Structure 1
Amino acid sequence: MSTHQFFRRALVLSATLGATGLMTAGVASAHVTADVYGSQPEKGGYGSVVLRVPNEEEQAGTVKVEVTIPADYAISSARTKPVPGWTAEVTKQDVVSKITWTAERGSEIPAGTTSYQEFSFTAGPLPEDVDTLVLATAQTYSDGTVSNWNEEPQGGEEPDSPAPTVELAESSGGGHGHGAEHASAESAEAEDTAAASSSDDTARWLGGAGLAVGALGLGVGAGAIIVARKRTRS
């Protein structure tokens, strides 16, 4: 075999192995994941989570995404960010147990393996005794097929159907500034501003009334002086 033929075959073999590796990586990573954009959620605080849901069926689209939140997390509040063409429902009794997104007709994640959708929500207070949130997710397709992403890693290896997970940061102790807690802080600030504005308006009104009364008193006093002078002259 000539040197030229040897290198040509080696290049073909390398390209084939590389393509196979890319395909395998693509298949392995094509599952529902939980991402955090911005600061990491803190234990005991409120955090924002973004579920990234890729479609994996060639002949069916994704029509429903259902996230189960373990009861022992004791999360009492959750809000979803609107997704055009999808309705969201938070299931709650004493604590939040489930969040479900359902596609309206024609708004599903398209069939095939090239499309995905993101579903965002905020939740809290987050557990203080958990390092990693495990958010088991069921992905329902238009043909009735359901993919359950609910397996936790064992021994450092990724399972076939891994559940989305979110790492929690240690509490900073300076307020968590996310979700409902942040909204409550903003509401309180708005109420304080309104109260201050109302107090200022009242003070201005009283000040104006005082000036008016003072001006009236000056007018009455001046009139009395003029009358007294006229009487003296007469």
Structure 2
Amino acid sequence: MRLARVVRAGVAAAAALTAALAFPVAASAHVTVNPNTAVQGGYTKVTFRVPTERDNASTTKVEIAIPTDKPIASVSLKPVQGWTAATETSKLATPIKTNDGDEMTEAVSKITWTADESAAIKPHQFQEFDVSLGPLPQVDQIVFKALQTYSNGEVVRWIDEPAPGAEAEHPAPVLKLSKKTDTTAASTTTSAGPTVAASDSKSGGSDGTAIGLGVAGLVLGLAGLVVGILAYRRAPAPTA
């Protein structure tokens, strides 16, 4: 009986720890860009993943701001069934030269996706929006501020920029850019074909984190169970 109680306690501890570790991940779902890394000067396809976090409303509109202080010359959108996509352009303070030698005076500064009634992102579902970008600017990162509009009129502003040592309440999607080297150039050339597969493998970052935390919780819980059993075995037998 005593061993059974130890086993039950260990299992309960493992379950509680796993739930405690997994909860912050589930609660922190937000608009993300995947993959979240690319190479300066190159072209890339990114996917904006938008989850609906409300129980009583659906996501009907998504707006992504494209910074123009370091403009991106080419912005192409992949159609999403049931959604209408539109871009807005802004005049550049300083015109830039394109790869073709032309002078660019305007650049895409905003993308807006609007859902048909049947295509809205229902509660606890998500949708993905693909965008091709390039050439990417010579900066360390691009912050894509996002607005998410719900069917009840609520607008969630995912615009908080990353800050060292602080966790933003409404973080903006961030694409980190690395400098182009011979190694990265060869890697980009080799992997240019299966772009979708590469995106899929990195787009599950938050899911992978949740799984990792869950496994860690189970390992810690099982470790506690083993310690309990060993303690039980070493304990002196009860006297009459």
Normalization by structure 2: what TM-score? 0.65
Equivalent position amino acid for 1:58 in 2 = D
Question: Could you tell me how far apart the structure 1 residues matched to 2:38 and 2:13 are?
Answer: 46
Aligned to 2:79: 82
Question: Could you tell me how far apart the structure 1 residues matched to 2:162 and 2:71 are?
Answer: 23
Q: 2:112 aligns with which of 96, 100, 113?
A: 100
> Which structure 2 residues correspond to residues 52-201 of structure 1 after superposition, within 5 A?
52-93=49-90, 94-110=106-122, 112-113=123-124, 115-128=125-138, 130-172=139-181
Aligned to 2:27: 27
Aligned to 2:35: 36
What's the % identity of the aligned pairs? Answer: 40
Question: Could you tell me how far apart the structure 1 residues matched to 2:131 and 2:154 are?
Answer: 25
Question: Could you tell me how far apart the structure 1 residues matched to 2:89 and 2:162 are?
Answer: 28
SS at match of 1:106: helix
Question: Could you tell me how far apart the structure 1 residues matched to 2:172 and 2:40 are?
Answer: 20
Equivalent position amino acid for 2:130 in 1 = S
Contact 2:65 2:111 in 1 (8 A): yes
Q: CA RMSD in A?
A: 2.6
Question: Could you tell me how far apart the structure 1 residues matched to 2:11 and 2:166 are?
Answer: 32
Structure 1 position 12 matched with structure 2 position 9: no
More relative contact order, 1 or 2 (CA 8 Å, 6+ apart):
2
Contact 2:88 2:108 in 1 (8 A): yes
Contact 1:34 1:49 in 2 (8 A): yes
Question: Could you tell me how far apart the structure 2 residues matched to 1:123 and 1:4 are?
Answer: 59
Question: Could you tell me how far apart the structure 1 residues matched to 2:33 and 2:88 are?
Answer: 19
SS at match of 1:22: helix
Question: Could you tell me how far apart the structure 2 residues matched to 1:46 and 1:25 are?
Answer: 31
Contact 2:67 2:142 in 1 (8 A): no
Equivalent position amino acid for 1:12 in 2 = A
Gaps of 5+ in 1: 180-234
Contact 1:79 1:90 in 2 (8 A): no
1:3 offset after TM fit, Å?
Answer: 4.0
Higher-helix-fraction structure: 1
Higher-strand-fraction structure: 2
1:47 offset after TM fit, Å?
Answer: 2.2
